Amino acid sequence: MQIRFDNKVVLLTGGGGGIGRASALAFASAGAKVAVTDRDVAAGEETTAQVKALGAEALFIAADVMQAAQVQAMVAQVVAHFGRLDCAFNNAGIEEEHMRLADCEEATFDRIMGVNVKGVWLCMKYQIAQMLAQGGGAIVNTASVAGLVGAPKMSAYSASKHAVIGLTKSAAVEYGRKGIRVNAVCPGVIRTVMLERAVQADPKVAATVAGAHPIGRIGEPDEVAAAVLWLSSDASSFVTGLAHTVDGGLTSI
């Protein structure tokens, strides 16, 4: 089955690279009109340029998902430009800790929860309001396998991703009868900037995490993007409240 998004409008946060960029390009290739957002203007504009190079309509919006006014304005700008909002991929997120819980600084905890939890909550708040007004839509949030199991030396990150899954399931129940589906993707270790930072800190990490996945390798951003597109499409029309793993079997161990 070929998944298409012709004449559909898609909003992605954290679109400046990695899973966000791969998803933006995948949506564009499937016919969508794509709004890319990121705090990193240069990275976001580069993704937008790549989307346009595929022949798709695209818009870049610089936004901090922790700021309610910016998120509200972001959604309003998408609707003003494209006329509606059919799908949203809330992908913006950070991880800044590789330490035991008692060693994590309060400021680090607050920053992780601010972006990963408050950011997703704010995005859904304003996206859902628009989708209610127009009669439906689909939302996908980026959680993590760390939202399904414990993650040593990443307690705040793990807590934030458990919270994303809780927000996802609650919203799915609340708005299912209003034509709004809400799901989450839970990636394993994916070849992104986050992984690059971890490898720079400890070169042994790459081989260790690759071997931890039963499939025997690290995942690619395109593989997560494929799941995001399916969850956003009519092909998954009876799917909501799902925390969908894309983890090479990691959580099956």
Average pLDDT (149-156) is 95
User: What is the structure's pLDDT at 161?
Assistant: 98
Report the distance separating Cα 164 and Cα 160, nearest Å: 6
Domain at 9-189+221-252: CATH code: 3.40.50.720
**Cα of 236 vs its chain's centroid, Å:** 17
Q: Which of the residues are catalytic?
A: 157
Q: Which of 172, 119, 174 is nearest to 142 (CA)?
A: 119
User: What is the structure's pLDDT at 107?
Assistant: 97
Q: Is 31 helix (H, G, I), strand (E, B) or coil?
A: coil
| β-pair partners for 246 | 187
Could you state, in order of their start, the residue ranges of all structural domains in the chain? 9-189+221-252
User: What is the structure's pLDDT at 201?
Assistant: 66
Q: How confident is the model at residue 186 (pLDDT cuts 50, 70, 90)?
A: very high
Average pLDDT (131-145) is 98
- Per-residue pLDDT of 75-90, as tens digits, reads 999 999 999 999 999 9
